[in-house]
Amino acid sequence: QLVAGTRSLFTEMSSPAKASTCARDVAAALYGRELGEQQDCDELMHRLSLLLQEGLSEVPGRPFQALQQGFRRLFVGATCEARLKAAPGTNGGEEGFSPIHPESEDAGRKQFLSIPVQQGNRTVTQALEDFTSWSSTGGTDIKWTQECFRTVPPFLCFASRQVSAFEWEEALNLTRFIAPSSPSMQRRRFERSRMLHIQTDLRDWLQRLGVAYDFLAKANDNCNGSLAARAKAHSDLIAQGEEDLKPIVEKVAELERSVGDGFDEQSLEEFVRGVVDAATLRRVLHGDLGVDSVKKLADLLFDGGVSTETLHRLVKEGALTQAVADGIASKLKARWDEQHAHMYDLHAIIVYQGLGQVGHYIAFIRQADGRYLCFDDEQVSEHADAAAVRADVAERGSEAYPASVRMVVYCRRGCCEPLELGACQAPAASNGATTNGLKHPSSAEGPAADEAKRRRTT
């Protein structure tokens, strides 16, 4: 029904006599008998993709091939899956850290349409972190898996299927998720994921113990204290668990500092070599500024790709010559450009106002001048900037009728072509499954395969 309806719609739209097509015509084709029932925007996107990939491919003469190719070029991304059979040793080196990568080009491509915003993600960047971080499988053979980008589409979509209050960034830096990293950085990222997993499991366990203790304490009161020994043992177990959690939290913080922004950095001495002499390094950079890393130097002297007032002040005070300051600024600018090579700008925000099937969608579309057009059914209004959009969303929502962001779309800065990355690093086995909603031609079928195709939030 979906294929037939949309095929008829496209044929009608291609007629020279057709002046325009209203939204209801499109909705009737996409939803058919379900017209009037509420569907989430992520599901609509997947329906349209399925139609274009499979339904319209059967039309004789392939009249919609350009449409299929255009949709794929703009919205379809791909990842490959890295795997670990066991966690490496804990000595901090790269020994034992040997991810398995797909052995062929076809097996290594897993398509996706949108990146899920999971419950607990506070920003879009956190959703991106979750999507590309190492995850425990709970299996006996493959213990950990990680999604690595192969193709990043020019329009990158993030979808949430719950009432949430995550923050959306006006610009998204994908460079650290795309640029190759050293074995040492890969190992640190894995260790961070592993320790975060342990931390989450311990906190969940403690939360459940706390709930059980509350019930046990009430039961003890009703039993005239006959369960006091059991309640105390439970309380002691919670206290011990909280003590066990402390070093885990400290280790996570240590790894967060070690990973930093996710880029491999030179030492400060190597970075300024040839620009700053040893005496100036000790007296000004280490002494006056108190910096011991390139990141700290950049944070102090270079903000948003521009030299800060601190650098100009050091020249005025005679701590640095203009030539040295210019040399530092040049190196920091090159570093900035390298670490911001793949930027995406906010393009659209889709908000759902209501609960369940009772509600409707509002779309905010960013224009070239930075303003946003708001489409609320037949009403169209304008907002000056992203702050005005945030204020509008906040004002619309209430406890009984909440308004929450369900999809955020970003557009690749300066280019409307897919970002094609190199092949995964090392040969190994892969089953070529799918990620988040799109089927690879060689993927497996059945309930297990269907479950793997789309990561969903609840």
- Give the span between the Cα atoms of 394 and 423, in whole angstroms: 43
Contact at 8 Å (CB) between 227 and 216? yes
Give the least confident one: 45-49, 52-56, 350-354, 370-374.
52-56
- Give the span between the Cα atoms of 418 and 73, in whole angstroms: 6
**What residues does 123 pair with on adjacent strands?**
167
| Per-residue pLDDT at 126 exceeds 80 | yes
> 435: pLDDT confidence band, cut at 50, 70 and 90?
very low
Q: Where is 379: in which H helix or E strand? A: strand 379-383
| Per-residue pLDDT at 120 exceeds 80 | yes
Contact at 8 Å (CB) between 198 and 247? no
Sign, CA torsion 383/384/390/391: negative
> 335: pLDDT confidence band, cut at 50, 70 and 90?
very high
Averaged confidence pLDDT in the chain: 82
- Give the span between the Cα atoms of 168 and 117, in whole angstroms: 11
The Cβ of residue 426 has, within 10 Å, a number of other Cβ atoms equal to 12
| 101-117 pLDDT, tens digit each | 776 656 667 889 999 99
pLDDT for residue 307? 84
Contact at 8 Å (CB) between 143 and 186? no
| Residue 44 or 441, more confident | 44
> 446: pLDDT confidence band, cut at 50, 70 and 90?
very low
Work out the angle between the directed axes of helices 23-31 and 41-50 (0-180°, nearest 10).
70
In degrees and rounded to multiples of 5, residue 9 shows phi and psi of: -65, -45
